[in-house]
A and B are shown apart, each in its own frame.
Chain A
Amino acid sequence: MAGSGKAHMRPDGDTVLTVEDLTVEFKLGKDKIVKAVSGVSFDLVRGETLAVVGESGCGKSTLGKAILQLPKPNSGSVNFLSTELTTLGKKELRDMRPAMQMIFQDPVSSLDPRLPVSEVLAEPLRVWKRGNQVEIDAKIDELLNAVNLDPKVVRDRRSYEFSGGQCQRISIARALALDPTMIICDEPVSALDVSVQAQILNLLQDMKDRYGLTLMFISHDLAVVKAVSTRVMVMYLGKVCEVAPPDELYQNTKHHYTRALVASVPIPDPERPISSGFIQGEPPSPMNPPSGCRFRTRCPAASEKCAAEEPQLREVAVGHFVACHHPIEE
């Protein structure tokens, strides 16, 4: 598993974003190269919510940033609204930025502590000269109302006066300011209390319906993913393992890594014995990933073929793709 392939791509759909063979590497020293994302391909159809899941360090955040060209990926193509971003000049790339926005994991760090909320929200509008001060003020009030914050109360406050959930609302308002087509949400709720998580997820869903957004939702929490996504992509060590709609993925899991992930979702039942899970140990170092299938070192079904040959994504059910030589049989 953890393979390449493009069987899951939908070239005929109304795609907003098409990513092909995206590779991101970081140089850590002379011969040390971290392969954070290795040849990932996927596409986003207008109006869908693609969830990208995987454990820490599997490259999902890096993937999100690479799509925004922050920093630029080492190779591969990112086609956003029929424009190839990777080869775009500085100025042309900047012109594309309003259409693609990002929401970050740490709600407090996402806001400049020295700026009042009105300035935080005015920044994108000023950068792009969206109207005069009166129009900007009106837009700020509209955005704050949209995320259920009272403009009169919050306008002049700074980020440290807010709770994490409130900060995240402001971040969402800022991401909406430029009327984007796509928002990449990088673990937007993982730093929040569970009770607040639901509020923020509902808000994101409302905003998506209201503004016709396309979302890429990066998370490690499968329960959250199930609640928001229309399609799930499971990543392991910089590669795609499995792509499927959430219900299909949970009920008809094909990939051994996905099964381990699903099994790791905590079930709120104190009587239930704690399962040790299907896999043990840490993922291998992305500096020196295993040959063939990257998951084979921890996979219960690994064979010699897995070491020799990298599995390609193939369709096992309608809309369900898996990159594994030995998928789980029912």
Chain B
Amino acid sequence: MSSTEQIATTDIAPVQKARKKRPFGFYLAGFWVALILFLAVFGDFLPGPQWDESFYDSLGVAPFHQSHILGTTLDGYDMYSGLVHGARLSVFVALVAVIVGGAIGTVIGVASAYFRGKIDVVITMAFNIMLSIPNLVLSLALISVLAYSDENNPASTTRRVGVLMLSLTIVIIPILGRIARGATLQWSSREFVLASKSMGTTNFTIIRKHILPNVAPAILAIGFLAIGSVIIVEGSLAVLGIGVPGGGSWGSMLANGRGNIAFSPWEVYLPAGAIALTVISCNWFGDYVRKALDQRESKI
């Protein structure tokens, strides 16, 4: 222990406890997402007009009406309760698709990149094939096959929603799976993984303790972006007429209202605005996570 060696402990900078200042947009996006989540969960228990009740005395009233704060459709459905109810389905479908699809994609991607070999080649090829099919076309094809309906055999709403979620989940798997695979390739080549192997840590423990925590931020960042795009795909499918029938989601409200745009434009603008704000908020979060990650990375 020479005197030069003892310097080693004293030249470490003190721990920085200063709180990071977050940009204003972060709180704005956070407020919107919190509001949507709150309404999606508790919306149906709040007082107010029912979403599936038609008010024949007030057809197509403009927003800021005294009993219909966001107006009604030409058929007399309340816009506010429609949006609240639609939030539930749009957000639920998007969350389920991204969480389930993300989990499956992460497991496949991480395992494929960690163990390499022939399976990795096959999985990468499968991901690329799936990614080469446009999202909308893939969901469209899956829904028309799995929840086929015509006038004689109408598919139940539950079945349509189920198939919708399934198809969106399948769309998400390769997107997040490829991110997970790429990040795992990068991290598993670090020497601390080799160090863990050389001390006899099992592969499962290495993945759980070293790979997943390091890969998670990248998946989280893209996951937020994916929630946004799933909401858009769901809306697009509804406009194409194969989403959730009967105005049950933002997309199908938009689809039902687009014929009335000349008489009651709020029927289109309000659900479109809700989709846009939610998607922007999700993208914002994704960007924020990614930037925070980049800063951490540059320090490493």
Chain A interface residues (CB < 8 Å from chain B)? 65, 68, 70, 94-95, 97-98, 100-102, 104-106, 108-115, 123-124, 127-128, 148-150, 153-154, 156-157, 159-163, 165-166, 169, 171, 174, 177-178, 199, 202-203, 206
Q: Which residues of A contact B200 (CB under 8 A)?
A: 94-95, 97-98, 124, 127-128
CB of B149 closer than 8 Å to a CB of A: no
Q: Which residues of A contact B5 (CB under 8 A)?
A: 148, 199, 202-203
Closest 4 CB pairs of A and B: A97-B200, A150-B9, A104-B191, A160-B299
Beta-carbon contact of A113 and B300 below 8 Å: yes
Determine, out of B104-112, B166-174, B205-213, the stretch whose residues face the partner at the interface: B205-213
- B101: min CB distance to chain A, Å: 25
Q: Which residues of A contact B129 (CB under 8 A)?
A: none
CB of B8 closer than 8 Å to a CB of A: yes
Q: Which residues of A contact B205 (CB under 8 A)?
A: 127
For B187-215 the 0/1 string (1 means CB < 8 A from A) is: 00011101111111110010001100110
For B62-75 the 0/1 string (1 means CB < 8 A from A) is: 00000000000000
Q: List 5 A-B contacts (CB under 8 A).
A: A123-B209, A148-B6, A153-B12, A161-B15, A203-B5
Q: Is the interface of B mostly helix, strand, loop or mixed?
A: helix
Q: Which residues of A contact B202 (CB under 8 A)?
A: 127
Give CA–CA (A25, B199) in the complex, Å: 24
Q: Which residues of A contact B11 (CB under 8 A)?
A: 163
Q: Which residues of B contact A157 (CB under 8 A)?
A: 12, 15
Beta-carbon contact of A148 and B1 below 8 Å: yes
User: How many B residues face the partner with a CB closer than 8 A?
Assistant: 31
Chain B interface residues (CB < 8 Å from chain A)? 1-2, 4-6, 8-9, 11-13, 15, 190-192, 194-202, 205, 209-210, 213-214, 296, 299-300
Beta-carbon contact of A101 and B9 below 8 Å: no
Beta-carbon contact of A97 and B214 below 8 Å: no
Of chain A, the residue at the smallest CB distance from B194 is A70
Give CA–CA (A160, B214) in the complex, Å: 14
- B193: min CB distance to chain A, Å: 8
**Contacts A157-B12, A162-B12, A199-B4: A101 and B199 contacting too (C-beta < 8 A)?**
yes
Q: Which residues of A contact B4 (CB under 8 A)?
A: 199
Set A113, A169, A174: member contacting B8, Cβ < 8 A = A169
- A308: min CB distance to chain B, Å: 40
Of listed B9, B196, B205, residue having the most chain A CB within 10 A: B9
Beta-carbon contact of B300 and A160 below 8 Å: yes
